[in-house]
Amino acid sequence: MADSFKIDFQGPGKVQSGDLIVFVGEDLKPTSTVAKQLGAKAVDLIAKAAAAENFKGKAKSAMSIVVPAGLPVDRLIVVGIGGEKERAALDFVQLGGLIAGKLNGKLATAVLDLPGTNVTPDAVADMALGAQLRRYSFDRYKTKKKDDDTAKTGGRLVFSVADPAAVKKVYKAREGVQQGVIIARDLVNEPPNVLGPQEFAARAQALTKLGVEVEILDDRAMKKLGMQALLGVAQGSVRGGRVAIMRWNGGKAGEQPIAFIGKGVVFDSGGISIKPGAGMEDMKGDMAGAACVVGLMHALASRKAKANVVGAIGLVENMPDGNAQRPGDIVTTMSGQTIEIINTDAEGRLVLADVLWYVQDRFKPKFMIDLATLTGAILVALAQEYAGLFSNNDELSERLTAAGKATGERVWRMPLGPEFDKMIESKFADMKNSAGRFGGSSTAAALLQRFVNDVPWAHLDIAGTAMGSPATEINKGWSSGWGVRLLDRLVRDHYEA
Ligand code: BES
Ligand code: MN
Ligand code: ZN
């Protein structure tokens, strides 16, 4: 939930009150506009404060100075942008987040005349996006507000730029992305008692307001289609499963769509192969893939992306009741292939097997990208720094890698191949759902690959990046909304007419 924090853009002009955000390099000199406005006294003040605080003007650093009487503003927030090299490579989303983290709920103005940087309207919109994301916090269930909470809400951040009209235009599209990230974060943060498969589907349904066509498959509809793998996971829960299909038709009529598929396990207890108790509460986040797809569809629809896009999410709860699936069970997937259940905690791949098959069969997409908090093993390999990328297509992989570098939501390609495919062979069925610890992320991906045929496909294992996330400049933590910015960028760069 975003607070009442507001962002505006205005032309150059004198800053009369509130906080002034001052950018300095390693020489600690404010930009010429700011220096002219504040005078020599303020320039001295910055130099003195920097010496006292050991502030060197490096990128990613900042300090606040309460100014003495006689100056027109209340506070200077001095933000480092470093030397020449650092300036050229500034990450404006992160910079916006850093600034927002220094605000105190009042008016603040940032004068964006940064020498040696390329502050395009795109860059300013990115800063505004980063600032908004930093201000996000999930406190819907806190009934008591702490004193210092109120100081951190509200306020107004004004960017003073040469051409505010141009920036406003770009920011309008960026706002959809920002809301998309926040939608994804909210979904991941919501507790599992509140957000079951049905409630999640209702959140997807809300996208109809933006012109997205939404269809919901309930247990009966899925049974008719033969989605026994997905239903097998759902059968241990008193809450039924759902598949939500979202369609945004912003491209040419009849043009093949691109497709995004998300794992939506609203709570993963492990089922009969139950997980240990410690940390099990985190498994409310096992629907982060589905949350990303909903957030992405919101972003694309609200900025009226010129592309035909399908989003499909498999929503289930993995629980261990008397009707739950057992190790040893064999299920027949919608594709007709059979899977022996070795471990009921390897449930995500079962859900995705049916949804992937359904999407490639019905929509014949140009490509499919699935997102899933699929394996703990991906945390062992890549920590929380990269999502695992598994793909049958080099071009799609390269494009995802580039979009990852551009947005900071980075992916790292991992191996697929006959070795891993062989490891999931089963004594009793066409395949088994778990091949043990070794190469756990690759064997999981190998199972998914059996349900995509020849469609260009990429699987993103986001167990490390989308939940339990550390705090960053643009996120206070836990739920990051990972993937919305990445995939919006991918679509923007390559798939819009
Ligand atoms: N949802 C988990 C994976 C997970 C782990 C997500 C940690 C986020 C953080 C998944 O369903 C799971 O339980 N995977 C098992 C697979 C194993 C039983 C083959 C795992 O990774 O241990
Ligand atoms: Mn599991
Ligand atoms: Zn899971």
Which of 343, 375, 433 maximizes ligand 1 atoms within 8 Å of its Cβ, making it the mutation to test the pocket? 375
The CA-atom distances, in angstroms, between 100 and each of 109, 115, 125, 158, 217 are 11, 22, 14, 11, 42
Atom of ligand 1 nearest to the CA of 265: 1
Backbone angles phi, psi at 54, to 5 degrees: 60, 40
Q: For 28-39, how does the pLDDT look when each residue is reduced to its tens digit (9 = 90+)?
A: 999 888 888 888
Q: E strands along 338-437, which residues? A: 338-340, 368-372, 387-391, 411-413, 431-432
Tell me which ligand sits closest to the C-alpha of residue 467: 1
75-87 core/surface letters (b: 16 or more CB in 10 A; e: else): bbbbbbbbeeebb
Q: Among 105-119, 286-300, 305-319, 432-446, whose mean pLDDT is lowest?
A: 105-119
Residue 312: CB atoms within 10 Å: 29
| Torsion of Cα atoms, 148 then 154 then 160 then 166, to 10° | 140
Tell me which ligand sits closest to the C-alpha of residue 437: 1
CB 332 within 8 A of CB 338: yes
| Coil, helix or strand at residue 482 | coil
What pLDDT was estimated at residue 34?
85
Look at the pTM and tell me if it is higher than 0.85: yes
Closest CA to 180 of 145, 226, 123, 129: 129
Which of 280, 374, 443 maximizes ligand 1 atoms within 8 Å of its Cβ, making it the mutation to test the pocket? 374
What pLDDT was estimated at residue 1?
54
393-430 core/surface letters (b: 16 or more CB in 10 A; e: else): eeebbebbeebbebbebbbebbebeeebbebbebeebb
Tokens for 358? 């359904």
Backbone angles phi, psi at 252, to 5 degrees: -70, 145
Confidence category of residue 267, pLDDT binned at 50, 70, 90: very high
| Coil, helix or strand at residue 412 | strand
- Return the sign of the alpha-carbon dihedral for residues 194, 195, 197, 203: positive
Atom of ligand 1 nearest to the CA of 285: 8
What pLDDT was estimated at residue 69?
86
Q: For 84-94, how does the pLDDT look when each residue is reduced to its tens digit (9 = 90+)?
A: 899 888 999 99
| Coil, helix or strand at residue 87 | helix
Atom of ligand 1 nearest to the CA of 375: 21
Tell me which ligand sits closest to the C-alpha of residue 265: 3
Backbone angles phi, psi at 281, to 5 degrees: -60, -25
Name the residue with the closest Cα to ligand 1, atom 13.
345
Closest CA to 93 of 64, 114, 122, 113: 122
Active site residues: 275, 349
The DSSP call for residue 448 is H
Q: What is the CA(262)–ligand 2 centre distance, in A?
A: 15
Q: What is the CA(394)–ligand 2 centre distance, in A?
A: 29
CA gap 239, 42 in Å, rounded: 63
User: How far apart, in Å, do the first and last CA atoms of the chain sit?
Assistant: 33
CA gap 348, 286 in Å, rounded: 9
Tell me which long-range contacts 409-412 makes (C-beta under 8 A, separation of at least 24): 409/465, 409/482, 409/483, 409/485, 409/486, 410/385, 410/386, 411/386, 411/387, 411/460, 411/486, 412/382, 412/386, 412/387, 412/388
Q: What is the CA(471)–ligand 1 centre distance, in A?
A: 23
Name the residue with the closest Cα to ligand 1, atom 5.
376
CA atoms within 13 A on the CB side of 53: 16
Tokens for 290? 């589905």
Q: For 145-168, how does the pLDDT look when each residue is reduced to its tens digit (9 = 90+)?
A: 776 665 567 899 999 999 999 999
Atom of ligand 1 nearest to the CA of 435: 19
Name the residue with the closest Cα to ligand 1, atom 17.
346
pLDDT of 114 over the 90 cut:
no
Could you tell me how far CA 435 lies from the centroid of its own chain? 29
Residue 14: CB atoms within 10 Å: 10
Name the residue with the closest Cα to ligand 1, atom 14.
375
Tell me which ligand sits closest to the C-alpha of residue 271: 2
Q: Please provide the DSSP assignment of 298-337 as one string.
A: HHHHHTT-SSEEEEEEEEEEE--STT---TT-EEE-TTS-
Q: For 278-320, how does the pLDDT look when each residue is reduced to its tens digit (9 = 90+)?
A: 999 999 999 999 999 999 999 999 999 999 999 999 999 999 9
CA gap 187, 181 in Å, rounded: 10
What pLDDT was estimated at residue 13?
84
Q: For 12-53, how does the pLDDT look when each residue is reduced to its tens digit (9 = 90+)?
A: 888 889 999 999 999 999 988 888 888 888 899 999 999 999
Q: What is the CA(181)–ligand 2 centre distance, in A?
A: 24
Q: What is the CA(460)–ligand 1 centre distance, in A?
A: 14
Atom of ligand 1 nearest to the CA of 373: 6
Confidence category of residue 176, pLDDT binned at 50, 70, 90: very high
Which of 345, 349, 426 maximizes ligand 1 atoms within 8 Å of its Cβ, making it the mutation to test the pocket? 345
CA gap 97, 6 in Å, rounded: 14
Ligand 1 pocket, Cβ-based, cut-off 6 angstroms: 268, 286, 343, 345-348, 373, 375-377, 434, 440, 463
Tokens for 351? 């859900």
Q: What is the CA(265)–ligand 1 centre distance, in A?
A: 11
User: Would you report the helix, strand and coil content of the chain in percent, each value rounded to 5?
Assistant: 40, 20, 40
